[in-house]
Amino acid sequence: MKIATFSGPLPELEVDALVVIGFEGQQPSIGDDRIDDLYGSGEFSGKSLEISVLHRPAALKAKRLVLAGGGKADRFGTPELRKLAGVVARSLKAKGARNIAISLEGAYQNDEFTAAAVEGAILGDFEPDQLKTDPKKNEKQIDSLTIAGGSEAAAGRGRIIAESQNFTRVLANEPPNVLTPLALADRARQMAAEQGLECEVLEQDRMRQLGMGTLLGVAQGSAEPPALIIIRYKPADGSVSRDHLGLVGKGVTFDTGGISIKPADGMEKMKYDMAGGAAVLGAMRAIAQLKPAIPVTALIPAVENMPGSKAQRPGDIVTSLAGKTVEVLNTDAEGRLILADALTYAARLGCTHLVDAATLTGAIVVALGTINIGVFTNNDAFVKKVLASAKSEGEKMWQMPLDDEYKEQLKSAFADLQNIGGRNGGAITAAYFLKEFAGDLPWAHLDIAGTAWLDDAKAWMAKGPSGAAVRTFIHLALNWS
* Active site residues per annotation: 262, 336
Q: Quote the strand ranges of 186-267, DSSP E.
A: 198-202, 227-233, 245-249, 251-255
Residues 288/238, Cβ–Cβ less than 8 Å: no
Phi, psi of 282 (to 5 degrees): -65, -40
Strand order from edge to edge, sheet including 51-55: 2-6, 144-148, 99-103, 17-22, 64-69, 51-55
Phi, psi of 34 (to 5 degrees): -65, -20
Helix intervals (H) in 175-219: 181-195, 204-210, 213-219
Strand, coil or helix: what is 418?
strand
CA 44 vs CA 50, 51, 253, 351: distances in Å:
7, 8, 46, 52
**Residues contacting 209, CB < 8 A, separation 6+:** none
Element (H, E) at 147: strand 144-148
Residue type, 354: L
* Of the candidates 184, 272, 269, the residue with the CA atom closest to the CA atom of residue 227: 184
Residues 460/90, Cβ–Cβ less than 8 Å: yes
Task: Report the alpha-carbon distance of residue 413 to residue 393 in Å, rounded.
Answer: 44
* Of the candidates 306, 271, 273, the residue with the CA atom closest to the CA atom of residue 177: 271
